[in-house]
Amino acid sequence: MDEVDEDTPLFAITVAAELAEMHAQTLRQYDRMGLVVPSRTSGQSRRYTLRNIAQLKEIAQLSAEGLSLEGIRRVLGLENQNAELRKRVRDLESTLANELMNRPGARVFAAGDQGVVSLATGKRPAKNSSVVLWRAK
């Protein structure tokens, strides 16, 4: 069985409205406005995720605090972007960790004034202690 996470579309609009303590018509309006856009089944029925439900509750809270729908749209957009970026960072960290684990003894390189040099694993490049004088013309 597939794993169920916060992005799995599970809930029909009536269930989502009940979980978010809103009217189904409000959810339809938010969908039209692009605030919370559920996925669609092949028959075009809306299916809401746990993340959608959390966003609906957040909309209600922000609205109660006096934020306009446009302000709420911006907040949700930034939160969605933040979540995507966090996921991307996790994916990159995982890829890097896997790459490092699968390539023991891989070459390490350093760049300096002498160009790019290969280093043994665990070694640092030699420090250049020469003094360079420069005179403006």
pLDDT above 70 for 112:
no
What pLDDT, on a 0 to 100 scale, did the predictor assign at position 5? 84
The rounded Cα 91 to chain-centroid distance in angstroms is 10
Percent of the chain with pLDDT over 70: 77
Q: What is the mean pLDDT of residues 92-107?
A: 78
What pLDDT, on a 0 to 100 scale, did the predictor assign at position 107? 60
What pLDDT, on a 0 to 100 scale, did the predictor assign at position 110? 67
Q: What is the mean pLDDT of residues 65-71?
A: 94
Q: What is the mean pLDDT of residues 18-33?
A: 95
So what's the architecture of 13-102 in CATH?
Orthogonal Bundle (1.10)
pLDDT tens for each residue of 36-51 = 999 999 999 999 999 9
Which DSSP letter does residue 111 get?
E
Higher pLDDT, 3 or 37: 37
What pLDDT, on a 0 to 100 scale, did the predictor assign at position 4? 76
Buried b vs exposed e over 33-64: b needs ≥16 C-beta within 10 Å?
Answer: eebbebeeeeeeebbbbbbbbebbebbeebee
Is pTM beyond 0.75? Reply is: no
Determine which of 57-66, 67-76, 104-113 has the lowest per-residue pLDDT on average: 104-113
pLDDT above 60 for 1:
no
**All structural domains of the chain with their residue ranges:** 13-102
Percent of the chain with pLDDT over 90: 58
Residue 118 to residues 34, 98, 110, Cα–Cα distance (Å)? 52, 22, 7
HSE of 67, CA atoms in CB hemisphere, 13 A: 15
Q: Point out which residues pair with 39 in neighbouring strands.
A: 47
Given a contact cutoff of 8 angstroms between Cβ atoms, the answer to whether 38 and 51 are in contact is: no
